[in-house]
Amino acid sequence: MERADYERLRWRCIRRALLELDITLTRFLDDGFDKLTEEEKKVFVELADMEDHELWYWLSGKTECDDPRFAPVVAAIRKS
């Protein structure tokens, strides 16, 4: 990933509407993101663009992520 693309993504992870996501996504960027495949990284960028409440429901397990494309990355974030 290009530096500027990564830094844009970083900003969109460390400045969320919900504190829960600030913490969870910052932690994942620092420890976990690098281990994703290039394809999964693209999925993560899409996840980071989601509305905060929807994303938090997935990441907290309140609702199950049933989209097969997103599910593995959601699971990776939940484990980090």
Partner 1 sequence: MSIPVLKFDAVIVGAGGAGLRSAIQLSEAGLKTAVLSKVFPTRSHTVAAQGGVAASLGNSEEDHWTWHMYDTVKGSDWLGDQDAIEFMCKKANEVVVELEHYGMPFDRTDNGKIYQRPFGGHMSNFGEKPVRRSCAAADRTGHAMLHAMYQRNVKANTQFFVEWMALDLIRDEEGHVLGVTAMEMETGQVVIFHARATIFATGGAGRIFYSSTNAFINTGDGLGMAARAGIPLEDMEFWQFHPTGVAGAGVLITEGVRGEGGILRNSSKERFMERYAPNAKDLASRDVVSRAMATEIKEGRGCGVNKDYVLLDITHLDPATIMKRLPGIHEIGLQFAGVDCLKEPLPVVPTCHYQMGGIPTHYSGRVVMPQNGDMNAVVPGFYAGGECACASVHGANRLGTNSLLDLLVFGKSAGDSAVEDLKAGKAHRDLPKDAADKSLARIAAIDNRKGGANVHETRLAMQRTMQDHAGVFRFGDMLKQGVEKILEVEKAARQLEIKDKSQAWNTARTEALEMENLIEVAKATMISAEARKESRGAHVRDDAPDTAEFPNGRNDKEWLKHTLFSPVDNSISYKPVNMQPLTVEPVALKTRSY
Give the residues lining the site for partner 1 (CB under 8 A).
Answer: 3-4, 7-8, 10-12, 14-20, 22-24, 26, 51-53, 60-62
Nearer to partner 1, 38 or 51 (CB): 51
Least distance between partner 1 and beta carbon 41 (Å): 16
DSSP 28-71: HHHTTGGGS-HHHHHHHHHHHTS-HHHHHHHHHTSS----TTTH
Nearest approach, Cβ of 18 to partner 1 (angstroms)? 6
Nearest distance from residue 44's CB to partner 1, in Å?
A: 17
Cα gap 22→17, rounded to integer Å: 8
Nearer of residues 37 and 61 to partner 1, judged by Cβ: 61
- Give the number of other Cβ atoms within 10 Å of residue 35's Cβ: 9
Shorter beta-carbon distance to partner 1: residue 12 or 69:
12
The alpha carbon dihedral of 37, 40, 42, 48 has a sign of negative
